[in-house]
Amino acid sequence: MKVLEVIKQGGAAFKDVLPPMAILCVFNCISAFVMLMLIGLNPTPDKIAEIAGPMVIVFLLMMLTWIFIEGGLFSSVLSVLKTGSLNMGEFISNCSKYFLRLLGLNIIGGLITILFWIVGAFLTGIFIAFGGGDNIFFNIIGGIVLLLTLIAVAIVAMPILISQYFTVINNIGVRDSLARSFSFIKKYFWKTVGVFFLLAICIFVVSFFVNMIASLLGNAIQGMGAAAISIILTSLVNGAIGVFSATCIMIYLLGIIQSEEQPAAAE
Model confidence at 222, pLDDT cuts 50, 70, 90, reads low
pLDDT at 164: 94
pLDDT at 71: 93
Q: Per-residue pLDDT averaged across 6-26, rounded?
A: 85
- pTM value is 0.84
Model confidence at 264, pLDDT cuts 50, 70, 90, reads low
Q: Where is average pLDDT lowest: 79-93, 187-201, 216-230, 244-258?
A: 216-230
Give dist(CA 237, CA 233) in Å, integer: 6
User: Cβ(100)–Cβ(119) under 8 Å?
Assistant: no
Model confidence at 232, pLDDT cuts 50, 70, 90, reads confident
Q: Which tens digits make up the pLDDT trace of 110-154?
A: 898 888 888 888 887 777 777 666 677 777 787 888 888 888 888
Give dist(CA 70, CA 258) in Å, integer: 23
Taking residue 158's Cβ as centre, other Cβ atoms within 10 Å add up to 19
DSSP string, 120-185: HHHHHHHHHHHTTTT-HHHHHHHHHHHHHHHHHHHHHHHHHHHHHHHHHHHT--HHHHHHHHHHHH
